[in-house]
Structure 1
Amino acid sequence: MKMNPWTLSVLLLLAGPLGADPDWHVEYPDSFCVVEGSTATIPCSFTHPMVKEAITAPPAGLRVERVVWCANLEFCWHPVYNGYDSNSVLTSSRFLYLGDLVGNCTLNITKMLKRDAATYRFRIETNGVGWTGPNGVRVNVTDGEDVKVRSSVTDNVVKEGGQVTLTCTSACSFHQLDVHWYRNGHALSETGPALHLSHLTNGDTGNYTCSLDSSGQKTSSPWSLVVVEDEGFHRSVHLVVAVVKGVVLAVLLLLLAGVVLAKRCSNKTNEI
């Protein structure tokens, strides 16, 4: 029986999602959550016949023409607006494809919105057939009101020269957070979920907060750090200074005594 090209394409398309063709496969996590306003990175990898047959030299005439990430769609057939479509100019700039056409399909979503909560699927299309990873990854978006700063020390008071690590945490597990840190409302150069402070001085004293984006909309309550003088260290310094002063004074007294004694001996010599 002769089959027209359109019917053949549909049958090949359905073969992947039904699990009949092991050459097509997409691997991504089942689900995770991110905080509204933060940046999410969906890790993803895939295999397709071209990769298995010849990574560096694909079969003649077979080429990848389109990669797609879609939200709440089963096959990602149609043009994608809330997601990524390499063939569409309507793709939002917040969706950035970090993958390639060989085996990496990682997607980056910046400034997560509540409406971004969805089940995302990845699709790859060649000039002969297309295939969509059937399971998808569920991304949940929380409001981030429970963002907090946690410290590696139990006391807010730390001695000079000490160290402390502050961590930006939430009830939601973070994925590639774009965390910004502030001291007394002024932005610090350090970024990331953890802030490491070492060789502390009095200048490090202040209220520390973390924000999940540069706008500061999702900011934690302040965590206060007080750096105090190390009394033992300063007592040692004072003791050393006192000893040095004492030695210098003793040397001066000895020199003075030597001068006086030499003068007396000189006078006696003159009298004789």
Structure 2
Amino acid sequence: MKMNPWTLSVLLLLAGPLGADPDWHVEYPDSFCVVEGSTATIPCSFTHPKVHKETGAVVDRVERVVWCPKHQICQGPTPNVYDSSNVRADSRFLYLGDLVRNCTLKIIKTVKRDAATYRFRFETNGGGYTGQKGVRVNVTVVKNVRLTVSSTDGEDLKVRSSVTDHVLKEGGQVTLTCTSACSFHQLDVHWYRNGHTLSETGPALHLSCLTNDDAGNYTCSLDSSGQKTTSAPWSLVVLEDEGRNKCGSDWRVTVPVVSVLLAVFLFLLAGLVFAKRRRAQKKPSEVIQKQEVDCKQEAVGASEEVSYSTIHFKRNSSRSAPGPEHEIVYSEVVR
């Protein structure tokens, strides 16, 4: 059976490099759901051999990576959402990967038309490969329950609690989960209390050591502005429990006390170090002064010393008057 050359080339491109080498591979999930207006991440990884089995060419670098929707080859001028060689790629599709192994793609502010099967292709100095399987992204529209409060049982986005009662005592804990008919895999979830944004993000919100400050209406949203795809409120009431050790109040008291003690310790330590330095600087100067005084005293003592020698008189045994023969010997007086 003869095969059209164009058809053969297409099949080869679909299979990857010649010989369908399993070392050429792209891995991503089969499909997952994205809520319209949210930000989702498509996890992806790829591998290639060091040497092309068919051509023997050394494969040591990736030169181009491409993400394209609704196309099985994803090659050449095929419409794409990201192309490393094209700086004018769609700004809503952010490539989080690299040119080594990671090919993760982030979709920002998804819209209905983003629903498609996405494929990743990488091209090296020794060949190119497209992950034919692709990943199917489904976009689900979630109604804003702020505008449809009457629908409480059929809403797509809601807050579920780890406890059945909305009333908890101080020191207790609860975990709130934002759920939807769509999977929350790799989705950005934002939390609010009484309409104010919380720093915590993610599908689950864990509240521990509850105090009166934690009481209020909690909502979750798949949009950072909180204006769309927002859940119905979940109310939390916190009761004061005088007979229970409130873990939240303990650390509020302990932290200031520890801070004061630490400050006093650092102050005393600084004073001790300063005193030692002053003593170390003072000691050499005292030694020098003492040496100078000793030197001066030695100089004064030396100047006041006088040495006298003995005077000897040599006389004749006779008592005659002194004459030339009588000798008088004087020694030198040394001062």
TM class, shorter-chain normalised?
0.7 to 0.9
2:216 to 202, 206, 210: 206
Contact 1:159-1:229 within 8 A present in 2 as well: yes
Distance in structure 2 (CA, Å) of the matches to 1:222 and 1:15: 50
Distance in structure 2 (CA, Å) of the matches to 1:160 and 1:38: 34
Work out which of the two has the higher radius of gyration on C-alpha atoms and give 1 or 2: 2
TM-score (norm 2): 0.60
Give the drift of 1:125.
1.3
Contact 2:193-2:217 within 8 A present in 1 as well: yes
Question: Can you give the 5+ residue segments of structure 1 that lack an aligned partner in the other structure?
Answer: 1-7, 54-58, 235-272
Give per-residue Cα distances to partners, 1:209-268, cap 9 Å, x unaligned.
Answer: 01112121111000000111226449xxxxxxxxxxxxxxxxxxxxxxxxxxxxxxxxxx
Distance in structure 1 (CA, Å) of the matches to 2:134 and 2:92: 20
Q: Determine helix, strand or coil for the equivalent of 1:115.
A: helix
Q: Is the alpha carbon distance of 1:219 and 1:132 closer, same or farther for their aligned partners in structure 2, counting shifts above 3 Å?
A: same
Residue number in structure 1 paired with 2:173: 163
Distance in structure 1 (CA, Å) of the matches to 2:177 and 2:137: 23
Q: Is the alpha carbon distance of 1:151 and 1:14 closer, same or farther for their aligned partners in structure 2, counting shifts above 3 Å?
A: closer
Residue number in structure 2 paired with 1:37: 37
Residue number in structure 2 paired with 1:118: 116
Q: Is the alpha carbon distance of 1:51 and 1:144 closer, same or farther for their aligned partners in structure 2, counting shifts above 3 Å?
A: farther
Q: Is the alpha carbon distance of 1:14 and 1:72 closer, same or farther for their aligned partners in structure 2, counting shifts above 3 Å?
A: closer
Q: Determine helix, strand or coil for the equivalent of 2:50.
A: helix
Give the drift of 1:178.
1.4
Q: Is the alpha carbon distance of 1:24 and 1:103 closer, same or farther for their aligned partners in structure 2, counting shifts above 3 Å?
A: same
Contact 1:69-1:122 within 8 A present in 2 as well: yes
The equivalences for 1:76-91 within 5 A come to: 76-79=74-77, 83-91=81-89
1:101 to 96, 99, 108: 99
Contact 2:14-2:132 within 8 A present in 1 as well: no
Give the drift of 1:9.
8.4
Distance in structure 2 (CA, Å) of the matches to 1:99 and 1:202: 44
Give the drift of 1:52.
8.5
Give the drift of 1:62.
5.7
Q: Determine helix, strand or coil for the equivalent of 1:131.
A: strand
Larger strand fraction of residues: 1
Give per-residue Cα distances to partners, 1:146-173, cap 9 Å, x unaligned.
Answer: 1111111100000111111111111111
Aligned length: 225
1:178 aligns with 2:188: yes
Contact 1:23-1:52 within 8 A present in 2 as well: no
4+ runs of 1 displaced by more than 3 Å?
8-15, 50-53, 59-63, 78-82, 231-234
Q: Is the alpha carbon distance of 1:19 and 1:164 closer, same or farther for their aligned partners in structure 2, counting shifts above 3 Å?
A: farther
The equivalences for 1:59-78 within 5 A come to: 63-78=61-76
Question: Can you give the 5+ residue segments of structure 2 that lack an aligned partner in the other structure?
Answer: 1-7, 144-155, 246-335
Distance in structure 2 (CA, Å) of the matches to 1:80 and 1:89: 16
Contact 1:81-1:91 within 8 A present in 2 as well: no
Residue number in structure 2 paired with 1:252: none
Give the drift of 1:77.
1.8
Deviates more, 1:95-104 or 1:161-170: 95-104
Greater relative contact order (Cα < 8 A, sep 6+): 1
Identity of aligned residues (%): 78
Distance in structure 1 (CA, Å) of the matches to 2:239 and 2:52: 63
Q: Determine helix, strand or coil for the equivalent of 2:113.
A: helix
Contact 1:47-1:103 within 8 A present in 2 as well: yes
Residue number in structure 2 paired with 1:92: 90
- Say what the alpha-carbon RMSD is for the aligned residues: 3.0
Q: Determine helix, strand or coil for the equivalent of 1:76.
A: coil
Distance in structure 2 (CA, Å) of the matches to 1:73 and 1:60: 29
1:22 aligns with 2:22: yes
Give the drift of 1:129.
3.0
